[in-house]
Structures are given as C-alpha cells and as structure tokens.
Structure 1
Amino acid sequence: MTDRPEPWQPGSGPAVAGQKDLRRHAPATQRNRDAIADILRDALPSSGLVLEVASGSGEHAVHFAAAFPALDWQPTDPDPAALASIAAWRAEASLPNLRAPMQLDAATDWPVAQADAILCINMVHISPWDATLGLLRGAGAVLPSGGPLYLYGPYTRAGVETAPSNLSFDASLKARDPRWGLRAVEDVMAAANMQGLRFDRLIEMPANNLSLLFLKT
C-alpha cells in the first residue's frame, strides 16, 4: 500500500476553553515522518531556512523542526484551513525555529525570495501537473547553488513494475480529479532539469513510496 490521502481527523488533544480545535491530523504523517527524517539528515544543510511547500496539517513541520533545531522551518499551504491547522500545531509545540505558516500556491508566484532547502511531501500526485511545474520553477528561482529540493510520494518508473496498490491509488485519484495522479519519475526529472535542478538520487521508501532529491546547479 501507499500513504493514501485519508479524510482529515480532528485534533486529538483538548481545545482551549470556548475555542474550536483547529488542528488537523493526517494519519500518514506518523507512518512516514521518521523514514523521511532519516533521509533529510543527509540531504539538508546544517543551517539555514527550509521551505516546506504544501505542509498540509502541519504535523511534518512540527516533527522536523524539533528534529533539526539548527534549521529554521517555514511551513506553507494554499488552503486557509490547513494554515489554521499549522498555526495551531505550531502554537502547541512552541518551537523557536518553526515560523508562522505562510500562504503559498506552488503553481503561482511565490512570496519567498530565498530558501536554503525545499521540502514537498505528498503533493505531486494530489494536484494538477501545473502545481509540480510551479514547484520546480519556484525551487529553481529561490534555491542557492547546491541547495536541495526533496520530494516524497508515490511515482511510476519506466521499466519498474508499479505495485497493484499504487495502480489502484492512481485510479482513485483520477476519479476524484482527472488532473491528479501518479507522475512518472522521468517526467519530473525532465521538468526539473529545465529549471536548473540536477537529479541527485532516488531512495525507495516504505509503503511503495519514493524519495527524490534534486540539487540546484
């Protein structure tokens, strides 16, 4: 199986008296966050700003900001409800290196001038292809030479059999929105190259997912 997008679950902790708990919970986060952190330890710079595109619930941002205290973490998302969830998780965690969430749509102009690394988890297949092109274009614009772009999620690969669960997942995504679906690694690599992003390596991950690492030339 893969880390399928499941319905958002409400926050698991008590809300402040008289206030709604705005935290969202993505079950896949707890399943994949430690495996991703293991890759990030070798991929991220020792210091600087990490821009997370499509932060979703904000749970990854909290986990990674705690795991990498020497890095500043900037979570983003285009969805106001996701931004509220990120802000609520951030308030609870009270981490000095976790910045307030910023609204960012990967497909449009970015309100960010520079970042030392970029992270994007489980967005590429649950968004139109234009969002991926925007992600790569933005990364090419704001990363310094040698800066990493890290992608995580399910993909297809030429000459590699796609797991039946991923094929089923792909069909379900396209049924929800025909613009969605698993992307071919080769297509992402070609689009990244056009933005000055050199493919560095592919790492097979649990649950039929992949980590893709690119470096700004």
Structure 2
Amino acid sequence: MQSLDVLSRAPDGALSSPAARRNAEPILRVLKAHLPARGRVLEVASGSGEHAAIFASALPDLVWTPSDVSAEARDSIDRWRAAGTASNLTAPLTLDCLRPDAWPEAAFDALFCANMIHISPAEATNGLMSLAERVLPRPGGLLALYGPFLEADQPLAASNAAFDANLKARDPAWGLRDRDAVIATARGHGLAFTLRIAMPANNLMLLFRRA
C-alpha cells in the first residue's frame, strides 16, 4: 500500500493511520457542505479505509464506494467495513488510475480523492481526471481533491517544501503538484474548478464540478 504515514494494526487486523484520524473531521466538514444529500460517492485511493468508515457512518444517505490499487489496502478497508455498522459502505473496488480498462462502468454523483497525486507519477493525475470525466456524467457532479499543492500565488510553507524534497528523494516521479496545472488538467476533462479551501497542516481541498 502506497502510504507515507506510520500505520498500525488494530486487533482485528485493520490498518490505522494517525494522519487519517487527524484530518477526518475537517475533511468531513467540507464534504458535508458540498456533497449531494443523496447519491453515490466513489473514493479513489482509500488507503487504510479509515476515512471510508468514518465518512460513510457520518453520511448515511450516501452510498460510499471505496477503492484502492493495493490488495493490502482493500483488505484493511474490508476489515473496517466489517467492524462498523454503516450499511452504506460498499465492498472496495480494485482501481488503478493508470488502468482505464478496469475502471467502473457505473455512474457516481461525486468522487473524492485524498493524498494520492503527490505519491504517484504525474500520469496518475491525468488518469484521475479522466476517471472523473467518465464516472461523473451528469453536470454538477463533484470531484473533491485533498492534499498539499504548489501555488504560484502563495508562499510555500517550509514543511511542504521539506515534504516535496522528501517525496522526490524517494521517487523522482513523485512530488507536490502545481495547483494551476492540476486545474488545467481537470479542465481538459470537462471539470470546472469552483473552490479552493485552506485546510489544516498546509493542505488544500480543491473542488471541481462536471461541466
């Protein structure tokens, strides 16, 4: 499983992420304000599944579908799902942003992705936007993208600069993505940038709507 966080295992074998626990509440506040009251949400790169369990429980009128490329992650998601009571949390999908032949055919009302694009090659960002174009067919469908970004009009926090350098040292294809470049990529896939929300720990939530 691709993660930069220190993961621990619960007694039932589910993976637990300190970062996921810390940022769940601020992310949830944004999702509650902008997700539809009812519908279907696809979460891309769900990781440990902790977010999926928390968000599905807090948003019972939304069917929450987690996904991840990693079998280890999907196993952890299944364990969080089994330990919880949220009937609206589905089994995880196997989903790789670089493998469009295996993407879901079903339509969704929203897509959520946290902390993926900076720990994957740049092609994965384009894949994510192409995926959103496919699974959000209706105008107004929401893409919510969370994580750290580079911004030409904002000073780069020292912690994010160090994080970016660390990512590139691990893999030259990784690194913080330029916000405006991400917005341009989204636009090329029929997604209009609508809102930038500052989040704790120098992260952002970028919201896009299907045109």
Shorter-normalised TM range = over 0.9
SS where residue 125 of structure 1 aligns?
helix
State how far apart, in whole Å, the 1-side matches of 2:165 and 2:61 are.
Answer: 41
Query: In the alignment, which residue of structure 1 is the partner of 2:4?
Result: 5
Answer yes or no: is the 8 Å Cα contact 2:148–2:204 preserved in 1: yes
TM-score (norm 2): 0.95
TM superposition shift of 1:113: 2.5
State how far apart, in whole Å, the 2-side matches of 1:41 and 1:89 are.
Answer: 21
Q: How many residues were matched structurally?
A: 206
State how far apart, in whole Å, the 2-side matches of 1:118 and 1:134 are.
Answer: 13
State how far apart, in whole Å, the 2-side matches of 1:171 and 1:214 are.
Answer: 28
Tell me whether 1:50 sits opposite 2:41 in the alignment: yes
Which letter maps to 1:129? Answer: A
TM superposition shift of 1:107: 1.9
Answer yes or no: is the 8 Å Cα contact 1:107–1:132 preserved in 2: no
Query: In the alignment, which residue of structure 2 is the partner of 1:141?
Result: 134
Mapping of residues 37-186 of structure 1, within 5 Å: 37-109=28-100, 110-143=103-136, 144-186=138-180
Higher mean displacement: 110-119 or 83-92: 110-119
CA RMSD, 1 decimal: 1.1
Which letter maps to 1:10? Answer: R
TM superposition shift of 1:141: 1.3
Tell me whether 1:34 sits opposite 2:33 in the alignment: no
State how far apart, in whole Å, the 1-side matches of 2:62 and 2:206 are.
Answer: 21
TM-score (norm 1): 0.92
TM superposition shift of 1:160: 1.1
Deviations 1:114-173 (A, max 9, x none): 111000011011111111110000101110210000000000101211001100000101
State how far apart, in whole Å, the 1-side matches of 2:152 and 2:48 are.
Answer: 32
TM superposition shift of 1:8: 2.0
Which letter maps to 1:135? Answer: L
Greater relative contact order: 1 or 2 (C-alpha under 8 angstroms, separation 6 or more)?
A: 1
Q: Structure 1, unaligned stretches of length 5 or more?
A: 16-20
State how far apart, in whole Å, the 2-side matches of 1:122 and 1:161 are.
Answer: 20
Q: Structure 2, unaligned stretches of length 5 or more?
A: none
State how far apart, in whole Å, the 1-side matches of 2:29 and 2:123 are.
Answer: 29
